[in-house]
Structure 1
Amino acid sequence: MRLSTKGRYAVTAMLDLALHEHQKPVTLADISQCERISLSYLEQLFARLRRNGLVEGIRGPGGGYRLARPATEVTIAEIISAVDEKVDATGCLGKQNCRDGVTCLTHELWCDLSNEIFTFLSGISLSDLVNRPEVRLAAERIDDVGAREQPLHRSAA
């Protein structure tokens, strides 16, 4: 099973917003530069994230995006679902036509695994990730290298 770039990039961008949530709104250009994600791809992802109530756009000078809810209330599974990504370990994408149009012997096993992964991701909030020391350290390095306009405050925990 593999999560596509759509899901990975959406989680990365949302984590970037969460890391900077107590600062001014974050621009997609900043995320694009620091995370090395195409700006046009981010625009597509953020349209979906906005439609699903996960981010809000702030217009005007100093504008950008911020989380629509506290990071404690946004799960990784919710982000992945918002960009139409599926957590699916089956070979048939859940259609039960694994083997010449019929369900294979291990279909239910892979369905169970998919459910376990989704449950696992549902139990992890953006806040959980923000509070990991290794995530904060990586964010500081990325902000420094990307020359972010307003870097992560090192004193924040």
Structure 2
Amino acid sequence: MKISTKGRYGLTIMIELAKKYGDRPISLKSIANAHNLSEHYLEQLVSPLRNAGLVKSIRGAYGGYVLTNHPAKITAGDVIRVLEGPISPVEGLEEEEPAKRELWIRIRDAVQEVLDSTTLEDLAKYSDSDSESYMFYI
């Protein structure tokens, strides 16, 4: 399974919103500028996140986006599943021979465990820390 820019940039949006949780709404323009990303592309990504109930938009001069829940209650897995679909290293697991199927299932479960045990609160803390060498181990 390869995480595309949809998942990576979607997590960027969500981490930025997690950093400002409880403050004012954050505009996609400010996130795009801070990370040198396309605002138009971020607009395309925030729509499924809003439809999934992970973010909500606030209209007005000081509007933008906010998380609908505390960052400790939203996982990286929630975001990736919305933007990338089901987490699976291969398609057609049931058609694989048993030895390979077991391997793919173990890989899938390990990736899911990391994504589902990592919250936006965790990621916001890591991105604010001085350490740039944080590693996720599977």
The match for 2:128 is 136
The match for 1:106 is 100
Write the distance in 2 (CA, Å) between the matches of 1:3 and 1:77.
Answer: 12
Whichever structure has more helix as a proportion of its residues is 2
The match for 1:124 is 118
TM-score when normalising by structure 1: 0.74
The match for 2:33 is 33
Deviations 1:1-40 (A, max 9, x none): 4211111111111001111223211001111111222212
RMSD, aligned CA: 1.8
> Map of 1:37-76 to 2, 5 A cutoff?
37-76=37-76
Q: Is the CA contact 1:3–1:87 (under 8 Å) kept in the aligned structure 2?
A: no
Is the radius of gyration larger for structure 1 or structure 2? 1
Change (3 A) 1:68 1:87: same
Alignment of 1:22 with 2:22, yes or no, is: yes
Residue 63 of structure 1 and its aligned partner are, at CA, apart by 0.2
Write the distance in 2 (CA, Å) between the matches of 1:113 and 1:12.
Answer: 25
The match for 1:150 is none
The match for 1:149 is none
Query: Structure 1, unaligned stretches of length 5 or more?
Result: 139-157
Residue 77 of structure 1 and its aligned partner are, at CA, apart by 0.2
TM-score when normalising by structure 2: 0.83
Q: Count residues in correspondence.
A: 129
Write the distance in 2 (CA, Å) between the matches of 1:87 and 1:38.
Answer: 26
Query: Structure 2, unaligned stretches of length 5 or more?
Result: 131-138
Q: Is the CA contact 1:7–1:85 (under 8 Å) kept in the aligned structure 2?
A: no
After the TM superposition, which segments of 4 or more aligned residues of structure 1 sit over 4 Å from their partners? none
Percent identical residues = 32
Write the distance in 2 (CA, Å) between the matches of 1:49 and 1:19.
Answer: 17
Deviations 1:87-124 (A, max 9, x none): 2222xx2x148xxxx52551331122112211221111
